[in-house]
């Protein structure tokens, strides 16, 4: 019962923050204020849920630079965790269906976040081109859940190529990000929220300038996945 009260409060809080986020995106096209609102959102969600956030490796990040953050994904709490933990201006990649949600989805469409249609390859390529422009013009660092969707077991699933293709084409380093603890607090398909701690670990940036072929991308993809798994276990 208490979990449903938390979910109601989070839903109402999300609605209010979505209004503020949409307004900030319209007024400040550098999107710095939008990212600040995202951090406010995260703090509120974690306060309501009784969740603490622990961040490791943030000293490896230069907040003035642009990166491609590649993370595992197993819980709804992963997004607020990354919004709070990453110091750079970010643009999380989200599925097209979320853009249809009243107020919440509307503000996503005008935000620095990157909408992708996973069912349409041509549309997905346009999303990559859009991301490249935002990276270059607005200094937005994309945040990509490389598994494509939330893991149903908490284990890291096979990665999809999109994040690595974007990083290579845009020429920016990849930062592997490991999120642990979130699955236990709210697994996919469950509506019970547990209190606890989520840990976000940033690894060293990986240059993509030497990645040339499709084979090189696949090697990079496995390297990043292995780093994420290793840091989750540690």
pLDDT, tens only, 72-109:
999 999 999 999 999 999 999 888 888 899 999 999 99
Q: Could you give the 3-state DSSP secondary structure of residue 133? A: helix
pLDDT, position 94: 86
pLDDT, position 88: 95
157-198 pLDDT, tens digit per residue, is 999 887 787 787 788 899 999 999 999 998 887 778 999 999
pLDDT, position 18: 97
Average pLDDT over residues 143-157: 88
23-54 pLDDT, tens digit per residue, is 999 999 999 999 999 999 999 999 999 999 99
pLDDT, position 187: 82
pLDDT, position 161: 80
pLDDT, position 175: 96
Determine the CATH number of domain 2-233.
Answer: 3.40.1130.10
102-148 pLDDT, tens digit per residue, is 999 999 999 999 888 766 656 666 777 777 888 888 899 999 998 88
């Amino acid at each position: 019962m208490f979990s449903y009260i938390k979910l109601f409060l989070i839903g109402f809080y999300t609605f209010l923050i979505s209004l503020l986020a949409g307004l900030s995106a319209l007024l400040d096209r550098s999107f710095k204020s939008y990212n600040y609102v995202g951090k406010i959102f995260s703090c509120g969600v974690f306060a309501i849920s009784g969740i603490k956030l622990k961040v490791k490796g943030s000293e490896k990040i230069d907040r003035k630079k642009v990166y491609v953050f590649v993370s595992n994904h197993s819980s709804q709490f992963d997004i607020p965790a990354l919004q709070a933990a990453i110091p750079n201006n970010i643009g999380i990649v989200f599925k097209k269906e979320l853009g249809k949600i009243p107020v919440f989805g509307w503000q996503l469409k005008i935000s620095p976040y990157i909408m992708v249609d996973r069912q349409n390859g041509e549309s997905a390529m346009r999303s990559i081109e859009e991301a490249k422009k935002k990276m270059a013009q607005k200094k937005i660092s994309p945040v990509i859940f490389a598994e494509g969707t939330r893991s149903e077991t908490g284990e890291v699933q096979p990665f999809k190529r999109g994040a690595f293709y974007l990083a290579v084409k845009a020429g920016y380093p990849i930062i592997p990000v490991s999120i642990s603890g979130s699955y236990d607090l709210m697994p996919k398909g469950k509506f019970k929220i547990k209190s606890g701690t989520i840990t976000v670990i940033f690894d060293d940036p990986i240059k993509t300038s030497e990645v040339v072929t499709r084979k090189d991308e696949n090697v990079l993809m496995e390297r990043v996945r292995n780093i994420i798994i290793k840091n989750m276990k540690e």
